[in-house]
Amino acid sequence: MSRAYSDLAFTPTVRAMQTRMGSRSAYAPLDHTEDRRDALTEREAGFIHARDGFYQATVGETGWPYVQFRGGPTGFLKVLDAKTIGYADFRGNVQYISVGNLQNNDRVSIILMDYAHQRRLKIMGRVRMVGADDAPELMARLAMPQYGAHVERAMLITVEAFDWNCPQHITPRFTEAEVNEAVAPLRAELTQAKAELARVQREATNAPAVELRLGKGPLPLRISGVRQLTPRVRAYELRSLDGSELPPVRAGSHLDLPLRLLNGTLSTRRYSISSNPRRRDAYEIAVLREDAGSGGSAAVHASYQLDMVLHCGLPGNDFALAADADAPVLLIAGGIGITPIKAMAQELQAAGRRVELHYAMRSRLDAAYLDRLEREFGAQLHSYAADQHERLDPAGLIQAAAPGTHIYVCGPVRLIDAVHDAARRAGLPVEQVHAEHFAVSKPTGQQRSINVTLQRSGKSIEVPATETILDALERAGVEASSGCRSGSCGQCAVKVLKGKPEHRDFVLSDVERAQGALMCICVSRAESEHLTLDL
């Protein structure tokens, strides 16, 4: 008895080549073996059921072979009995080359790969095609209810022969599930190590344990998801406690979120809602960890965790799209400034308006949401990676913009200043340029400590050169209203009773600054050595 595979594959010409190349003696035993290998065993069945795809070859009337990859959920190719395998044939690119070839030649050869373990199984057989409506019971056996693809027919393959290949030249590759399984022990060790590090840090700084509830705001939200978008940007999904719909928002909206700084001080930080404004089930924020910042982002990354409840402020919006539905729009983002701009692009697209989005980044690796934006907006997205020497040119964009274009920019101060400067030179009205600042403007003079007296409470607080007035007040246990912490919203503005402030905000008018009656304590400091505030 001979091996079925050699009967079909080892033609006289093939055998002659084996003889010529010296390998005939290695295969000669297959002509005299009890192992026919034309009926599948449990070993082959288990291997087949574990695959999520295979390569299939047919031959057309021209004599040319055609190889096609067939894929689906794991187990979509089923062993029906020892001589029959079958699968539901999902609609593909509708070329119907394989299906057409099988009309005249029912022979098929397939290869199933296990790249991770460097194994492959070759099967030769004959195909019978059955219409999806002609055999309900058969389709029920082949169905994959969890897979939503359209099924056109059943493909039944009668096994004529099979053979296992050696692992030589198979490059190991791994699926996402296989990688997750392999690194699961490492992730567990990393989680344990992080927990131990956090414990040591808490003990070293006498910081309290991670709180399950935080803040005093009127809107309680539960952290329902955490995703690492880039090495330094982490996204947090926030939902209502009972699963009900959240207050509606428009693009440009923000949330004031509570957090406890690493020194134990309770504070708040403002973050743009970056999720699609049409979503009512959840908000998403994205937080860039800034190790040289004021400590807010570091506290978020260190303490925010799944199922934590944050009592937040109600959504606000100081950066909304203009009401002029017919006006052209130019969106410009730099770095983490993409968070409100992303939502704007999605709102404009949903309204059927053309989107032109320009996104500057240090590198593609550092660019939050870049892959999603590329999928959603294609050629309407223009990205500029500094490490590839690509440069966003605000002046060129504004000069090329159509008359009446509204410009929205968010990102570093340098980018926003460049957009405003280009808009002024181009003669654009100020009401057509909209900006949201994430960073504090640079000081105009030498940074120094100042003394602040609070008139109503009688407290005197020393503000170091490295700290804002607002941070110093919070550290001293004084509650003060705050919002953006970048001088953009005016929520922290307080009345100055004595002293001369040094304004670094973006929100107070020239008249308010000239009068010296108000100052934004989140960013502004003092030209005098002492300030008295109405607090």
CATH of the domain at 418: 3.40.50.80
Number of domains in the chain: 4
**CB neighbours (10 Å) of residue 426?**
12
Count of beta carbons in the 10 Å neighbourhood of residue 328: 15
Q: Tell me the one-letter amino acid at 419.
A: V
CATH number at residue 155: 2.30.110.10
Is residue 460 within 8 A of residue 451, CB to CB? The reply is: yes
Q: What is the CATH number of the domain that holds 468?
A: 3.10.20.30
**Digitized pLDDT (tens) for each residue of the chain, 535 residues in all:** 889 999 999 999 999 999 999 999 988 988 888 889 999 999 999 999 999 999 999 999 999 999 999 988 899 999 999 999 999 988 878 899 999 999 999 999 999 999 988 999 999 999 999 988 888 888 888 888 777 777 889 999 999 999 998 888 899 898 888 888 888 888 888 888 888 887 777 766 654 455 688 988 999 999 999 999 999 999 999 999 999 999 999 999 999 999 988 777 788 889 999 999 999 999 999 999 988 766 789 999 999 999 999 999 999 998 999 887 788 999 999 999 999 999 999 999 999 998 899 999 999 999 999 999 999 999 999 999 999 999 999 999 999 999 999 999 999 989 999 999 999 999 999 899 999 876 554 444 457 889 999 988 888 999 888 788 888 888 887 877 777 777 777 778 888 888 888 888 777 877 777 776 788 888 888 888 899 888 8
In a domain, 419, yes or no: yes
What is the distance of C-alpha 123 from the center of its chain?
40
Q: Are 291 and 403 contained in the same domain? A: no
480 and 399 within one domain: no
365, part of any domain: yes
In this structure, is residue 283 part of a structural domain?
yes
Do 236 and 297 fall into the same domain?
A: yes
Backbone angles phi, psi at 485, to 5 degrees: 65, 20
**Domain identity same for 378 and 459:** no
* Structural domain boundaries, residue 110: 37-165
- Residue 53, classed as helix, strand or coil, is strand
The candidate with the shortest Cα–Cα distance to 481, out of 270, 292, 298, 271, is 270
- Give the span between the Cα atoms of 303 and 90, in whole angstroms: 46
> Is there a single domain that holds both residue 407 and residue 353?
yes
Residue indicated by tokens 């057509």: 432
Cβ–Cβ < 8 Å for 432, 405: yes
Q: Is residue 200 part of a domain?
A: no
| Whole-angstrom distance, CA of residue 381 vs CA of residue 167 | 44
Instruction: Yes or no: say if 336 and 438 are a contact pair by the CB < 8 Å rule.
Output: yes
CATH of the domain at 227: 2.40.30.10
Residues 407 and 514 in one domain: no
pTM, rounded to two decimals:
0.55
For residue 70, give the H/E element and its range: strand 65-71
In terms of domains, do 220 and 129 share one?
A: no
324 closest CA partner among 381, 400, 407? 407
Q: Is residue 185 part of a domain?
A: no
